[in-house]
């Protein structure tokens, strides 16, 4: 009897951990040749924005561009929005003429897919400040970049070359309290690049919920 009690308790202890692990799992195998590769030209794209107009990567040539894969319902995304971390980054860097594009690749009927008007409400309610929120419901752009998680971050330089790809920071958790102790890879990459220095950490393993293709 005691054995069964201990076994049931262990199952209850493991269940939350297994759920977290499932959320962190990367999307399935991909053709590496299709992924955005640091040091190579960023894949070109044009997507409709929640502002009602198309946005292309080409129109931002000559500027640094951040691509943030977004799913408002993902706890790893909420980690960075609940405490204002993502909003601060967006405001800091758009204030320095960096373009910030939040891309939602959730398919219709999947977690995180919202029509433009609801997406705009979520952006406003959170006080988010990207240059634009772009919708990629068929996942074409997400797959072109090899976007695996939300968030998954990319930085493109003024020549259109990827200079960073990976996680937003080095603390793969859902706890907002971890943000302050983390090394924010995106912030460091932009700081170094705008100062004319090489990017120290140009790639890292992304973490978060799988993109809901």
> pLDDT digits over 44-94, tens only?
999 999 999 999 999 999 999 999 999 999 999 999 999 999 999 999 999
Looking at residue 16, its pLDDT comes to: 39
Please give the full DSSP string across 147-172, using - where no structure is assigned: --EES-EEEE-TTSBEEEEE-SBS--
Q: Given this structure, which CATH class describes domain 2-210?
A: alpha beta
pLDDT value at 15 more than 60: no
E strands, 70-210, are 99-104, 132-135, 149-150, 153-156, 162-166, 209-210
Average pLDDT, the chain: 88
CA distances to 88, 104, 110 from 77, rounded to whole Å, are 14, 12, 16
CA distance 122 to 87: 13
pLDDT value at 175 more than 70: yes
Domain ranges of the chain: 2-210
Nearest to 126 by CA among 59, 170, 49, 70: 70
* pLDDT bucket at 177, cuts 50 / 70 / 90: very high
Q: Is the pTM of this model over 0.75?
A: yes
- The percentage of the chain sitting over the pLDDT mark of 90, rounded to a whole number, equals 83
CA distance 36 to 142: 10
Q: Is 92 exposed, middle or buried (0-12, 13-18, 19+ CB in 10 A)?
A: middle
Please give the full DSSP string across 26-68, using - where no structure is assigned: PPS---GGGS--TTSBPPP-EEEETTSSEEEGGGGTTS-EEEE
Q: For residues 142 and 20, which has the higher predicted lDDT (pLDDT)? A: 142
3-state secondary structure of 132: strand
- The percentage of the chain sitting over the pLDDT mark of 70, rounded to a whole number, equals 84
Looking at residue 207, its pLDDT comes to: 97
Decide: 145 and 67 in contact? Cβ < 8 Å.
yes
Q: What is the pLDDT of residues 93-112, one digit of tens each?
A: 999 999 999 999 999 999 99
Looking at residue 24, its pLDDT comes to: 44
DSSP 8-state code for residue 104: E
Q: Is 209 exposed, middle or buried (0-12, 13-18, 19+ CB in 10 A)?
A: buried
Strand order in the sheet with 162-166: 54-56, 46-49, 132-135, 99-104, 65-69, 153-156, 162-166
Nearest to 123 by CA among 190, 49, 212: 49
Q: What is the pLDDT of residues 24-50, one digit of tens each?
A: 444 333 333 347 899 999 999 999 999
CA distance 129 to 16: 33
pLDDT value at 2 more than 70: no
Q: What is the pLDDT of residues 192-209, one digit of tens each?
A: 999 999 999 999 999 999
CA-derived radius of gyration, the chain: 18
């Amino acid at each position: 009897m005691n054995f069964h009690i201990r076994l049931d308790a262990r199952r209850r202890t493991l269940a939350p951990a297994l759920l977290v692990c499932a959320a962190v799992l990367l999307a399935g195998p991909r053709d590496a040749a299709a992924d955005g590769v640091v040091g190579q030209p960023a894949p070109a794209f044009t997507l409709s924005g929640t502002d009602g107009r198309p946005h292309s990567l080409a129109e931002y040539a000559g500027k640094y561009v951040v691509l943030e894969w977004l799913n408002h319902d993902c706890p790893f995304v909420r980690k960075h929005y609940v405490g204002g971390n993502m909003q601060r980054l967006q405001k800091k860097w758009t204030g320095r003429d960096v373009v910030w594009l939040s891309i939602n690749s959730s398919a219709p009927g999947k977690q995180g897919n919202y029509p433009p008007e609801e997406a705009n409400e979520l952006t406003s309610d959170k006080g988010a400040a990207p240059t634009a929120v772009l919708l990629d419901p068929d996942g074409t752009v997400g797959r072109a970049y090899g976007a695996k998680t939300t968030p998954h971050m990319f930085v493109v330089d003024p020549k259109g070359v990827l200079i960073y790809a990976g996680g937003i920071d080095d603390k793969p958790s859902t706890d907002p309290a971890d943000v302050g102790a983390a090394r924010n890879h995106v912030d460091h990459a932009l700081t170094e690049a705008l100062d004319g220095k090489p990017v120290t950490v140009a790639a890292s393993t992304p973490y978060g919920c799988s993109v809901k293709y």
